[in-house]
Amino acid sequence: MRNKSLLIAVGLTAVLGILVFVAGWMFGSHRGPAEAGGPATADSVAAPPVDAPPPGGQIDAIRRGVPIDQEGAPPPMARVENADIKRVRAYPMQPPTIPHAIDGYQVDKNSNRCMLCHARANAATFQAPPVSVTHYMDRDDQFLATISPRRYFCNQCHVVQTDAKPLVANNFQDIDSVIATTPAAPVAPAKQGSE
């Protein structure tokens, strides 16, 4: 007798649960398309991950054509590459990208995790390239004994390598490819003669 009422109670709860689920599902799917009316345009515009600034005076090319009063679909989160493979620097003074993950590396007033490996003294132990001499120079080009305050917060200049696609297309050319494609400039004999 007791068991029977328990069974009925469980059964009723289950039926009620299913009803609530079906109702929620119907309500949700009913609202879905109606809601999508607005942002759908933004989504479809934002779909291509890389795009040149669209014509027509886009305020911010990174919005990739999504009108200013609409919210674009954000590109998927980038994955950090942890492959120990250096990337080519676009110009000699470019801070090299970090070829390893830096999750949880503390860099603050009390401690600088990066310098554990990248200090000259520790480089041999960790087989890390020591920071270059510029990192010990102050703004008057004087060499300091320890890392310069100007170079203390490494992530100000160095970023990890990710598989993120460029948000905005650009036609930057490395100086080597510029030199390779430019024909040798002819010397101007007239000017030389006049001087």
Binding residues (CB under 6 A) for ligand HEC: these are: 84, 86, 93, 95-96, 98-100, 102, 105, 107, 112-118, 126-129, 131-132, 134-135, 147, 150-154, 156-158
Distance between CA atoms of residues 128 and 98, nearest Å: 11
Residue number, 28 or 92, with CB nearest to ligand HEC: 92
Q: Which is nearer to ligand HEC, 61 or 80 (CB)?
A: 80
Displacement of CA 48 from its chain's centroid (Å): 17
> Given the complex with ligand HEC, which of 75 and 99 has the nearer CB atom?
99
Distance CA 144, CA 135 (A): 9
Residue type at 183?
P
Report, in Å, the least distance between residue 121 CB and ligand HEC.
13
CB 147 within 8 A of CB 131: yes
Cβ-based nearer residue to ligand HEC, 69 or 84: 84
Q: What are the percentages of helix, strand and coil residues in the chain, rounded to 5?
A: 40, 5, 55
Cβ 25 to ligand HEC, closest distance in Å?
A: 47
| Residue located via tokens 């109606």 | 34
Q: How far is the CB of 62 from ligand HEC (least distance, A)?
A: 23
**Shortest CB 137 distance to ligand HEC, Å:** 9
Cα of first residue to Cα of last residue in the chain, in angstroms, is: 118
Kindly tell me which of 35 and 141 has the beta carbon lying closer to ligand HEC: 141
Could you tell me the smallest distance in angstroms from the CB atom of residue 143 to ligand HEC?
A: 13
Q: Closest CB to ligand HEC among 43 and 81? A: 81
Distance (Å, rounded) from C-alpha 91 to C-alpha 79? 25
Torsional class of 139: left (φ above 0), alpha (ψ -120 to 50), beta (otherwise): alpha
Beta carbon of residue 164, minimum distance to ligand HEC (angstroms, whole number): 17
Nearest to 74 by CA among 102, 39, 101, 103: 39
